[in-house]
Amino acid sequence: MARRFKKQFSKDDGFTLIEMLLVLLVISILIIVIIPNIAKQSKTVQAKGCEAQVKMVQGQIEAYRIDTGKTPSTVNELVPEYLKENQVKCKDGTDIIINNGEALLGA
């Protein structure tokens, strides 16, 4: 019985330590390469989203100008009829300002 038990558990079916270390090395290299690219893409997406929001505010400035015949001096004049309260800033907190009738990113 002891022989049969020993035979069952002495099979060479498992992974060696070197094989597991190689797999961990490959996974680590992939993570090191992928994570910076994801962070870079996230910043690019935020910048594009902010640009799109500025264009949307510019469209609302034009709508305000058509409706009232005058140009708004601040984005707060567009709230609540033309913009929602959360649309006067980009997601990263950058203010959108109006300068000479144009929507721009504030400092």
Alpha-carbon distance of 50 to 54, in angstroms, equals 6
C-alpha count within 13 angstroms, C-beta hemisphere, residue 18: 0
Alpha-carbon distance of 62 to 74, in angstroms, equals 13
This prediction's pTM = 0.60
Question: What pLDDT shows up at residue 28?
Answer: 94
- DSSP for 12-32 reads --S--HHHHHHHHHHHHHHHH
Q: Which helix (H) or strand (E) holds 37?
A: helix 17-68
Q: Are 103 and 58 in contact (CB under 8 A)?
A: yes
CB atoms within 10 A of CB 104: 14
- The answer to whether residue 98 scores a pLDDT higher than 70 is yes
Question: What pLDDT shows up at residue 85?
Answer: 84
pLDDT in tens, 32-80: 988 888 878 888 888 888 888 889 989 999 998 998 888 888 888 888 8
